[in-house]
Homo-oligomer: A and B are copies of this chain.
C-alpha cells in the first residue's frame, strides 16, 4: 500500500493491483485522519477523467483512491455488461487493497456501482456521495440518441475532451466556460496516462445502463435498505442522466440530502468545484448517523 507523496491527480503515479485474477489500475494519494475516499468513474471515463480541482483538495485530509474498473484504462478486461458485475470488481479491488471500510464518491455509472456495493456489502461503505446518477428503475439514463445529445455525438468535429465539454456542461456561456476550464485541468497530466476507452468499453457499459433501467416489484424499494448517510448531487440541466433520477434517489433513500446546482449539466461537480469540495468535505467530515451536514 503506497500513498503517493504527490497528492494530486496531475502527478500521482498509476499503480497496479493483482486481485481476484484481475489486474486493476489505480491511483492513491493524499493523507489525513478522515476515511479513505474511493472514486467510481463515469461512462468510458478513466483515471484521467478525474478533475484535479476535485481530487486534490479532498486529498488534503484523507486518502483518495481512483480506480479503473475491469476492462477500463489499464485494468484487465472484459467490462461486465451489468452494474452488479462492476460492483463485484470494485469489492475485489478494495479487498485486495485491504480496505474494509471507506467513503465512496460515485459519479454517473460510478454512482450506480456505489449503490450496488452498498446493497451487496453494506459494511464497506461508511458515507456515500452520488453525483449525476440514477437508481435502479430510473429513466432518461444515457439516451445518446436523444436530439439534445445526438447533435454533439454525431458531430465529426467534436472528439474527446471537446465533446466532453459539450455534453457535460449546459449550453450557456457560463457553463461552457466552466467546461473549457475543466478540460484544461484534465489536460495538465502529461505522462503515465490511461488509454482512451474504445467501443468495447462503451458497448458493455451501455448494456449495463439498459439493464439498470429494469426493475421488478416495488419500484425503488431496494433503496430503502441503504442506510448509509448519502449526499446526492446533480446539475439541474443534466441531459445525460436527468435530474428526476436524483429526486427519486433522495425521496427513497432513507438518509439522503439532495443538492442541485443551477446552470449546469452532468459535470456540475466540476463546474462548481469549489462549492462541491466544500459540501463534500463538510459531509464527509461528519460522523453523525444522519446525512444532514
Q: Does A247 contact B (CB under 8 A)?
A: yes
The number of times this chain is found in the oligomer is 2
Identify which of B236, B256, B275 contacts A250 (C-beta below 8 A).
Answer: B236
B292 touches A272 (CB 8 A): yes
Among the stretches A95-103, A130-138, A259-267, the one at the interface with B is: A259-267
Q: Does A257 contact B (CB under 8 A)?
A: yes
A4 to B290 Cα, complex, angstroms:
35
Q: Contact mask A260-293 → B, CB, 8 Å, 1/0?
A: 1111000000001001001000100000001111
* Interface range, A side: 20 to 34
A130 to B260 Cα, complex, angstroms:
14
A251 to B242 Cα, complex, angstroms:
12
A259 to B259 Cα, complex, angstroms:
5
A275 touches B292 (CB 8 A): yes
Report chain B residues within 8 Å CB of A261.
Answer: 257, 292
Q: Does A61 contact B (CB under 8 A)?
A: no
Q: How far is the CB of A2 from chain B (nearest CB, A)?
A: 35
Identify which of B258, B282, B293 contacts A258 (C-beta below 8 A).
Answer: B258
Closest to A271 in B: B292
Report chain B residues within 8 Å CB of A293.
Answer: 275, 278
Residue among A243, A260, A262, A275 with most chain B CB within 10 A:
A262
Q: How far is the CB of A127 from chain B (nearest CB, A)?
A: 14
When A243-B251, A251-B243, A292-B275 are in contact, do A260 and B262 touch as well, CB less than 8 Å?
Answer: no
Closest to A275 in B: B292
Residues of A within 8 A of B (CB): 236, 243, 247, 250-251, 253-263, 272, 275, 278, 282, 290-293
Nearest 9 CB-CB pairs, A to B?
A275-B292, A258-B260, A272-B292, A256-B262, A255-B262, A250-B260, A236-B251, A261-B292, A259-B259
Instruction: Contacts A257-B260, A262-B291 known; list 7 others, CB within 8 Å.
Output: A250-B262, A255-B262, A255-B263, A257-B261, A261-B292, A262-B292, A275-B293
8 contacts between A and B (CB under 8 A): A250-B262, A254-B262, A254-B263, A255-B263, A257-B260, A262-B290, A272-B292, A275-B293
